[in-house]
Structure 1
Amino acid sequence: MKLQTQLIYAFTALLVVIMAVVWYVIYSLILDLLIQDEQRQLSQTGEILVDILNEQYGMMSNQQFYNVLEEQDLQMVLYDRTEDRVLFSTTPTQLVHGLYEQNDFANTNQTIWNLGNEKYVTSRILFLSEVSGLELILLTSLDDLKVVQLDFFLRLFLIFIIGVAAAILLAYFLTKRLVTPLSLLKQQLKKIEKRQFDDIKHIQATGEIKEVADSVYEMADELQRYINSQQIFFQNASHELKTPLMTIQGYAEGIKDGIFDEQETEKGLDLMVTEVNRLKAIINEMILLAKLDTEPNIYEPVKIDGQELINLVIDRTIPFVNEKGIVLHQNVENNITIYADEEKLLRALLNVVYNGIRHAKSQVRIRIFTTGELITILVEDDGNGISEDLIPTIFHRFVKGKNGETGLGLAIARAIIEQSNGSIKVDKSNLGGARFIITFPKA
């Protein structure tokens, strides 16, 4: 069953239940209201009649008195409370006798009289004074009120039917407005499933559906970037692996066929060893990258002192610094602690610093300081910097700048830093070269 149909059924059922409860409550109360209203009208009519009769009571004989009551188009009983008997009635004698037998006329609190299955609403009005004991009791059959109740019920039922129909229409339009964006979003997800990223269109939606749609678009963009990066990765990887393999294959076949002399054979063997070592380095870094991305448990975060970390970096880069003939500056703020895997973070920083040393002309600067709730590590050089078109992809795999080696060093650095809840980015340094900005939350 489709979601729209389910929602229509749910909304309609809910409204039907609510309206049914309201209808039942109103139907139950309407009879009480009709009885109260009838008693009020009988009381008003009786009081007017009694006031007129009281004024003329001394001027009329009993027969005239009864004739006046008879002329009224009302069901009434003239009751003598002191003698507990009916003096006169405009209703049939059999009816009055039955009412008298089954009800206590003297009980003023009994407002509803019973006669078999029938009920009568009553209203009492005293004649002259309470001493006289004469009461005028007006009657109305409850069946007459039930006719009014039934008429009200029919009208209420008609309103109920119209309300249900309106509810179904309203539920249809509301659910259609709610479900249509979901249906359109489903179509976009099908396009994502088929990797038709260029055909994805934004849908018009509001509220939580819009948030879900935005998340889907972000997911599609990220998935497209991931697929593109994987394609570029495999292309670059195949190229990087293919080059040394072709070199090794060429020399191996030449040595096997004896087309090289002794000197060329020695040179070829040395070159083969170099290419094998290069190939081994590329494969090892590819394996490390795969582990960094897929095995979070290989990280063992500990608290690392910032100064000690930079000292380890400097100790390992001194030979390269001396070879290049440049100066390595450091400036570390006191009492800085980073929470990360020490060995892997050291590997990431060495990759970044080695990159700076390779491209520097005369100096590399390392700084660690805190800003707010962040710890920032800056690595700057005075080289030629990174070209603008290379900055967006500099941390991708096998993306190499000038004088780059495997193209995996910065990708490994980013993977380690991000797994340690940090981030890394690059821009232009005030020294003229590149500036790598690494940030971590305070430990």
Structure 2
Amino acid sequence: MPVPRLKSSLSGDTGTKSMAADTLNARITRRYIALVALSMTLMGILVLFTIRAYTIREAKTELQKSTRIISELAGGQLNNEATLNEFILEQLIRDRFRRGVEFRAYGYTMAIVDREGRLLLPRTGQDLIFLTTKALPALWNRILAKQPYESGFEYFKADGVQYICSVLPTENIFVLLYLPIKSIQGITGGLILLIVLLVGCSCAVAAIVGKMMASSISRPIIQMKNATKDIARRKFDNLPVITTGDELEDLAGSIRSMSEELKNYDLSQKTFLQNVSHELKTPLMSIQGYAEGIKDGVFKDEAVTRALDVVVDESMRLKNIVEELVYLTKLETMEDFFRPDLENIMELVEESVEKVRGLALTEGKNIEISPGDPAVLTLDRDKIIQALMNILGNCLRHASSRVWVDTGLNRGGFYEIHVHDDGPGFTPEDLKNAFKRFYKGTGGSTGLGLAITRAIVNMHGGSIEISNKTEGGASYRIMLPVSHAARYAPTKPPLAK
């Protein structure tokens, strides 16, 4: 059943991951051993074939050389005597080769045949039987087929054994020198055992070295795996420091950076929840207190009306906080909440100023806008206006008598919007925390306005800064990229020129 399998998988999660780490270690070791074994085997086979080819070539050279010497000795004896004497010829050969051993100890066998194919030497023994019944008939047919015959090598098979024979013709005779090919190959037989032993020893050494190498590779991976488990448990400190000098070190650095980001995010979420609780608790307590007072008859006559006004005001404030929280959350999490089009930025700035001009007149303050560079940018119209109105509202709240706006293109490919006031400016605490959620400066409302403004500007690929003017007053600086490529295609054509 699917469910029991799922439960089994989850219950054995730790063991499975440990097994995966062990498998990685073992896999590296096995592949290293296999690589070494394959390399040594291929090298051994190459060396074996090279030595075998060299041995056969040298054996042929020696056969040819010995055949010429024997041919000279046999020819010289025939010049002095009517027939060949096997004993005298072997004595001459021993003297010539300066070896005090029997000629057959060299590993090859001599035969001398006249021009008619009659065997002259040897005249007795097993070699005579072997030559007359098996070797000579096959060889002589090949020699006759190649008349006039020059010196060379012939191969023949007898009793299941392959032989190589050096043939050298003279004026009266053919000198044959043959030996089994396996006697040549037997020289390399010991090399096969040596290669097998060498490969075995190499595999043993490779197993030790491979285990060490695998451990050095898998150890930092296991450390990073454990670090990710700690991060999942919100333990962001005591991360391992890995200094391998390769991609693993880069990966560890990325995990450390991710941990710092998650730590900051976790802290900001805790702070956010604390601030939300505080901001919602205050109007709720006020509403609860007045509602209970009305219920218990504490408020009479006009006091009831004032109490109800407070309840309505606090309810509206609570509603505004919730709406701004929802709006900010949508800005940060819902991509389809962002709908850009090609917009004339100066028109948006002017529209924003006009929307707050009535508030400025009510408070007896002047708001001005300087003519700026015209530009068409990819923007979400409503959200940019919302961001500008938040800033203009803050400036009007703190200005003594005047707020002014100036705009223009800079050399870095950004369109800048500056909003200034002639108020007291920002405090050091304001400069540090103004864009944090629920941070309220002097006369602040919900503490979410500038957080929303920054989210909107960031969504457009821009940035926002605050500062104090030298002559006094606050200054806001918004920079929007002129060449910003929106994440969504514009839904209407460019403005007509």
TM-score by length of 1: 0.87
For residues 68-126 of structure 1, the C-alpha deviation after alignment (integer angstroms, 9 at most, x for no partner) is: 34644253445558434443249811232322234455156654332222122333445
Which moves more between the two structures, 266-275 or 13-22?
A: 13-22
Match of 2:120 in 1: 87
Unmatched tracts of structure 2, length 5 or more: 1-18, 95-102, 485-497
Instruction: Identify if the C-alpha distance between structure 1 residues 306 and 250 changes in structure 2 by more than 3 Å, giving closer, same or farther.
Output: same
**2:31 is paired with a residue of what secondary structure?**
helix
Which moves more between the two structures, 101-110 or 348-357?
A: 101-110
Amino acid at match of 2:405: R
For residues 289-343 of structure 1, the C-alpha deviation after alignment (integer angstroms, 9 at most, x for no partner) is: 2222232112222112222221222222222333351443345323x23223221
On the 8 A contact 1:191/1:199 being kept in 2, the answer is no
Q: Does 1:179 align with 2:218?
A: yes
Instruction: Identify if the C-alpha distance between structure 1 residues 274 and 171 changes in structure 2 by more than 3 Å, giving closer, same or farther.
Output: same
Please report the RMSD computed on the Cα atoms of aligned residues, expressed in angstroms. 3.0
For residues 167-219 of structure 1, the C-alpha deviation after alignment (integer angstroms, 9 at most, x for no partner) is: 21221111111111011112211221221223334333332212221221111
Which moves more between the two structures, 404-413 or 348-357?
A: 348-357
CA distance in 2, matches of 1:69, 1:392: 112
Amino acid at match of 1:325: K
Which moves more between the two structures, 192-201 or 179-188?
A: 192-201
On the 8 A contact 2:440/2:447 being kept in 1, the answer is yes
Q: How far apart are residue 281 of structure 1 and its match?
A: 0.8
Share of identical aligned residues, percent?
26
On the 8 A contact 2:74/2:84 being kept in 1, the answer is no
Match of 1:5 in 2: 26
Q: 1:421 aligns with which of 436, 439, 461?
A: 461
Q: Does 1:329 align with 2:369?
A: yes
Match of 1:349 in 2: 388
Match of 1:399 in 2: 439
CA distance in 2, matches of 1:48, 1:350: 115
Which moves more between the two structures, 302-311 or 237-246?
A: 302-311
Instruction: Identify if the C-alpha distance between structure 1 residues 138 and 109 changes in structure 2 by more than 3 Å, giving closer, same or farther.
Output: closer
Instruction: Identify if the C-alpha distance between structure 1 residues 228 and 390 changes in structure 2 by more than 3 Å, giving closer, same or farther.
Output: farther
Match of 2:16 in 1: none
Q: Does 1:16 align with 2:51?
A: no
Match of 1:145 in 2: 184
CA distance in 2, matches of 1:395, 1:133: 116
Amino acid at match of 2:450: L
CA distance in 2, matches of 1:282, 1:117: 103
On the 8 A contact 2:463/2:479 being kept in 1, the answer is yes
CA distance in 2, matches of 1:41, 1:393: 97
CA distance in 2, matches of 1:52, 1:392: 112
Q: How far apart are residue 428 of structure 1 and its match?
A: 4.7
**2:441 is paired with a residue of what secondary structure?**
coil
CA distance in 2, matches of 1:155, 1:360: 96
CA distance in 2, matches of 1:430, 1:368: 21
Match of 1:40 in 2: 61
CA distance in 2, matches of 1:116, 1:324: 127
On the 8 A contact 1:229/1:396 being kept in 2, the answer is no
Alignment of 1:359-438 (within 5 A): 359-361=398-400, 362-429=402-469, 432=472, 433-438=474-479
Equivalent pairs, count? 438
Match of 2:324 in 1: 285
For residues 260-283 of structure 1, the C-alpha deviation after alignment (integer angstroms, 9 at most, x for no partner) is: 343433333322222221111111
Which moves more between the two structures, 55-64 or 225-234?
A: 55-64
Which moves more between the two structures, 206-215 or 84-93?
A: 84-93
Amino acid at match of 2:267: N
CA distance in 2, matches of 1:86, 1:332: 121
On the 8 A contact 2:353/2:392 being kept in 1, the answer is no
**2:436 is paired with a residue of what secondary structure?**
coil
**2:237 is paired with a residue of what secondary structure?**
helix
Alignment of 1:204-353 (within 5 A): 204-322=243-361, 323=363, 325-334=365-374, 336-353=375-392
On the 8 A contact 1:429/1:435 being kept in 2, the answer is no
On the 8 A contact 2:410/2:416 being kept in 1, the answer is yes
Instruction: Identify if the C-alpha distance between structure 1 residues 288 and 141 changes in structure 2 by more than 3 Å, giving closer, same or farther.
Output: same
Unmatched tracts of structure 1, length 5 or more: none
Q: 1:162 aligns with which of 188, 196, 201?
A: 201
Amino acid at match of 1:83: E
Q: Does 1:117 align with 2:150?
A: no
